[in-house]
Amino acid sequence: MKKAAVAAVAVLAAVLAALLAYDGIINKEATADFFAMNTYASAKITGADSEECAALAEEITQSLDTDILSRTAENSEVFLLNKNGGGALGKEMRGYVSVLLDVCEKSGGAFDFTLGAVSDLWNFGGNPSIPDSAALSDALSHSGYKKLALAENTLTYADKAAVIDFGAAGKGIALDDIREAFAEKRIKEAVVSVGGSVLLMGEKQFTVGIRNPSGNAGSYIAKLHIPAGCVSTSGSYEQQFEENGEKYHHILDPETGCPAKSGLLSVTIISESGIMSDALSTACFVLGHEKGTALAKEYGCTAIFITENNEVFVENGSKDIIEITDGAYTLI
Ligand code: ADP
Ligand code: MG
């Protein structure tokens, strides 16, 4: 071979090696599986910083829980607010509280993050049972978002026995924090799920399963084909127990303090924001199909309702995003 040809081959080989190395970096995958916020969480990330980001997803979720949102971790921001009947709010907490108060109002109180004392009586996270009715009405009398007043950076509880609880929105808040942290990192794609809330980052169309509301945790009834964003599902299948032949689940009707009966098995909300998708999925579950649709529209979110008759409705969005994979369910 002539000298020039040898040089050309060498250059080509070097370019190819560099390209392969680059591809190895931008497509480097990392995963993390962890338990946080009382639920299972996982992260699957592609990109040069994937390993760092997988670890970061766990770190952010754990510290958000322990330092900020947990109702039981002593010295968390929420723990201290509940203990003191209010107080000064950090910048982030002020943001969460004002978003959630807005959801409380727009949902007509179907969403209410002051049901902590009522949730405690049901003890869904532990060994659940039907609460004593006198205790339930007492706890209910100390609940209600109207007992909270937010002025500037201070939250005041009109009833010091009220207990705020981020159970319905904390997982979505974690996803918002994770997305913000990832924005500065070199990643191509990320899928992070915390319980029933999922964050999707990247340019592609993602496929997300909707859980079978009457099956086991690993089975799905539909696939969603959607771009980047947040997706949350709230369902009566989570944390349920049976007593005297009746099933009880953890999404409560703030009017009665008992599990919401709205004819639904689950609601899935798609939003750019995790706090919105998480809070709205709970709110819409309590409201039911018709009123839930109105609320989702007000916030510009697509909502998927699965009714107790196994009917599936896609509201405020195209039906093209959904593919039913279980013949027992019908897309209307
Ligand atoms: P999951 O915890 O399964 O993701 P949700 O996001 O729907 O489910 O939140 C349910 C949790 O929110 C309950 O465990 C309780 O702590 C709290 N909660 C229950 N009912 C309501 C309600 N009507 N409004 C706000 N929070 C609620
Ligand atoms: Mg929720």
The tens digit of pLDDT for each residue in 8-21 reads 888 877 777 766 66
Q: What pLDDT, on a 0 to 100 scale, did the predictor assign at position 237?
A: 80
Q: What is the C-alpha to C-alpha distance for residues 94 and 134, in angstroms, rounded to an integer?
A: 34
Atom of ligand 1 nearest to the CA of 104: 24
Q: Is the pLDDT of residue 6 over 80?
A: yes
pLDDT digits (tens, 9 = 90+) for 190-219: 999 999 999 999 999 999 999 988 877 778
263's tokens: 């004819």
Q: What pLDDT, on a 0 to 100 scale, did the predictor assign at position 261?
A: 93
Q: Is the pLDDT of residue 234 over 90?
A: yes
Q: How far is the CA of 85 from the centre of ligand 2 (A)?
A: 24
Q: How far is the CA of 286 from the centre of ligand 1 (A)?
A: 10
Q: What pLDDT, on a 0 to 100 scale, did the predictor assign at position 189?
A: 96
Q: Which pLDDT band, with edges at 50, 70 and 90, does 1 fall under?
A: low
Q: What is the C-alpha to C-alpha distance for residues 252 and 214, in angstroms, rounded to an integer?
A: 19
Of all protein residues, whose CA lies closest to atom 10 belonging to ligand 1? 168
Between helix 170-182 and helix 50-63 the angle, nearest 10°, is: 150
Q: How far is the CA of 306 from the centre of ligand 1 (A)?
A: 18
Q: Which pLDDT band, with edges at 50, 70 and 90, does 159 fall under?
A: very high
Q: What is the C-alpha to C-alpha distance for residues 83 and 75, in angstroms, rounded to an integer?
A: 10
* Element (DSSP H or E) covering residue 83: helix 77-84
Q: Concatenated DSSP letters for 267-287?
A: EEEEES-HHHHHHHHHHHHHH
Atom of ligand 1 nearest to the CA of 282: 7
Distances (CA, A) of 141 to 88, 135, 146, 251: 25, 10, 12, 18
Nearest to 195 by CA among 61, 28, 103: 61
Ligand 1 test: best mutation among 101, 146, 250, 256, most atoms within 8 Å of CB? 250
pLDDT digits (tens, 9 = 90+) for 48-83: 999 999 999 999 999 999 999 999 999 999 999 999
Nearest to 321 by CA among 256, 263, 268: 268
Ligand with an atom nearest the CA of residue 287: 1
Q: What is the C-alpha to C-alpha distance for residues 21 and 24, in angstroms, rounded to an integer?
A: 5
Residues contacting ligand 1 via CB (< 6 Å): 111-113, 115, 119, 124, 165, 167-168, 171, 195-196, 234, 238, 250-252, 254, 278, 281-282, 286
pTM, to two decimals: 0.92
- Between 2 and 29, residue with greater pLDDT: 29
**Residues with Cβ within 8 Å of residue 124, at least 6 apart in sequence:** 239, 241, 249, 250
Ligand with an atom nearest the CA of residue 107: 1
Q: How far is the CA of 12 from the centre of ligand 2 (A)?
A: 54
pLDDT digits (tens, 9 = 90+) for 19-53: 666 666 778 999 999 999 989 999 999 999 999 99
| Residues 49, 187 contacting (CB under 8 angstroms) | yes
β partners of residue 248: 241
